Amino acid sequence: MTARLLDGKRLAEQIREEIRQQVERFYQTTGQRPGLAAVLVGDNPASQIYVRNKRRACEQVGMVSWLHHLPGETTEAQLLALVRQLNDDPVVHGILVQLPLPRHIREEKILEAVAPNKDIDGFGPENLGRLAAGRPRFVPCTPLGVQVLLRRHDIAIAGRHVVILGRSTIVGKPLALLLLHKGPDADATVTVCHSRTQNLAAMTRQADILVAAMGQPRFVRADMIKPGAVIVDVGINRLPDGTLVGDVDHAAVAGIASAITPVPGGVGPMTVAMLLHNTLRAAQLQAGLLSAPE
Ligand code: NDP
């Protein structure tokens, strides 16, 4: 069997075009452009690239974006003050605080301070709580990207066993909550594994859909999957020679799986597309064009 390639790059381009048209309609209706404020603290090169790509993606669909690039020695109080100022600014619809923050700043304090209706990453306690309650407002972008990728490739989720490798608050845990919901593109039976899970391969071999989000290069080998499984590789790892690889041994696993995402070009572009989706949604909610979730 040769797995079907789940091309996230091409799908993300389609979704971005759909969003561009919706942004245009939003502008015709309100005279405003959805606006994203990105906050970057310090000089982490990967973070700088991520923020640059996200801002460029916003501008390509007709949104406005602002970069607040603060020095690495910025205090927690100064960052909180900036977040509050952005919370109060009516042209800012979405606020993105690029993680990781420098160690002297408590990430949770900053994420808690972002106004819930501008929390387009969905990392604040209110939005995570809503997701857990099955009434999401903003779903974190990578989990949402995984769900949309599966839906738009007509891969059924309901009733299937999804095994997720990784329990982080930005990927594994919210994805588990999302796929566990009652309703369309969900209703999965979900198992979440982590570094303390025993006999991991026995878990992964049960997966109809296996999602790897661990940050361990080529960890998932061919003998760890069930023939015909769908494989979603969230991992992005740079090898010493500069090559980017996922958490899955792609070449070997593609011979056994029924479908698999590439790295790069799989989940990564979907994450950026979902950031645009959430920013547009934030603008629509704030303009009263969508009814706010109860
Ligand atoms: P974290 O480091 O926050 O979490 C990694 C998770 O994997 C943890 O739950 C950890 O367990 C688990 N884990 C690590 N090693 C093992 C192991 N050997 N066996 C079992 N479980 C293990 O990472 P993130 O969730 O932030 O990111 C995961 C990967 O996804 C990274 O490669 C990251 O670059 C990538 N990523 C990709 C995105 C995209 O858009 N494509 C977006 C976000 C992340 P424990 O909790 O016990 O430590």
pLDDT tens track for 187-240: 999 999 999 999 999 999 999 999 999 999 999 999 999 999 999 999 999 999
pTM summary value: 0.98
In this structure, the residue with its CA closest to atom 30 of ligand 1 is 235
Upper half-sphere CA count for residue 212 (Cβ side, 13 Å): 33
Distance CA(46)–CA(48), nearest Å, equals 5
Give the active site residue among 22, 118, 119, 121: 121
294 or 63, greater pLDDT: 63
In this structure, the residue with its CA closest to atom 3 of ligand 1 is 168
Q: Name the residue of 234, 263, 270 whose CB sits within 8 Å of the most ligand 1 atoms, as the mutation to test its pocket.
A: 234
- C-alpha angle 176-182-186 in degrees, rounded to nearest 5: 50
According to the model, what pLDDT value does residue 177 have? 98
Q: Where in the chain is the domain with CATH 3.40.50.720?
A: 141-268
Q: What percent of the chain has pLDDT over 70?
A: 99
Determine the distance separating the centroid of ligand 1 and the alpha carbon of 169, expressed in angstroms.
10
The CATH number given to 141-268 is 3.40.50.720
Tokens coding 7: 């091309």
According to the model, what pLDDT value does residue 294 have? 53
According to the model, what pLDDT value does residue 291 have? 79
Distance CA(53)–CA(217), nearest Å, equals 23
Distance CA(28)–CA(43), nearest Å, equals 38
Active site residue 118: no
Determine the distance separating the centroid of ligand 1 and the alpha carbon of 136, expressed in angstroms.
23
Distance CA(283)–CA(294), nearest Å, equals 17
Secondary structure letter of residue 117 according to DSSP: G
According to the model, what pLDDT value does residue 233 have? 98
Tokens coding 108: 């949770």
Q: For 57-108, how does the pLDDT look when each residue is reduced to its tens digit (9 = 90+)?
A: 999 999 999 999 999 999 999 999 999 999 999 999 999 999 999 999 999 9
Distances 171 to 88, 142, 165, 177 between C-alpha atoms, Å: 29, 6, 10, 10
Q: For 246-282, how does the pLDDT look when each residue is reduced to its tens digit (9 = 90+)?
A: 999 999 999 999 999 999 999 999 999 999 999 999 9
Q: For 124-146, how does the pLDDT look when each residue is reduced to its tens digit (9 = 90+)?
A: 999 999 999 999 999 999 999 99
Render the burial of 135-144: b for 16+ CB within 10 Å, e for the rest. Answer: ebbbbbbbbb
CB 38 within 8 A of CB 55: yes
Tokens coding 209: 């859909």
Q: Which residues line ligand 1 (CB under 6 A)?
A: 142, 165-168, 170-172, 193-197, 200, 213-216, 234-237, 267-268, 271
Q: For 23-63, how does the pLDDT look when each residue is reduced to its tens digit (9 = 90+)?
A: 999 999 999 999 999 999 999 999 999 999 999 999 999 99
Determine the distance separating the centroid of ligand 1 and the alpha carbon of 143, expressed in angstroms.
13
Active site residue 54: yes
Helix axes 267-286, 141-152, angle to 10 degrees: 110
According to the model, what pLDDT value does residue 136 have? 96
According to the model, what pLDDT value does residue 258 have? 98
Q: Name the residue of 167, 214, 245, 263 whose CB sits within 8 Å of the most ligand 1 atoms, as the mutation to test its pocket.
A: 214
According to the model, what pLDDT value does residue 47 have? 96
Q: Name the residue of 50, 141, 195 whose CB sits within 8 Å of the most ligand 1 atoms, as the mutation to test its pocket.
A: 195
197 or 293, greater pLDDT: 197
Distances 168 to 65, 172, 193, 194 between C-alpha atoms, Å: 28, 5, 11, 9
According to the model, what pLDDT value does residue 249 have? 98
Q: Where in the chain is the domain with CATH 3.40.50.10860?
A: 33-115
May I ask the CATH class of domain 33-115? alpha beta
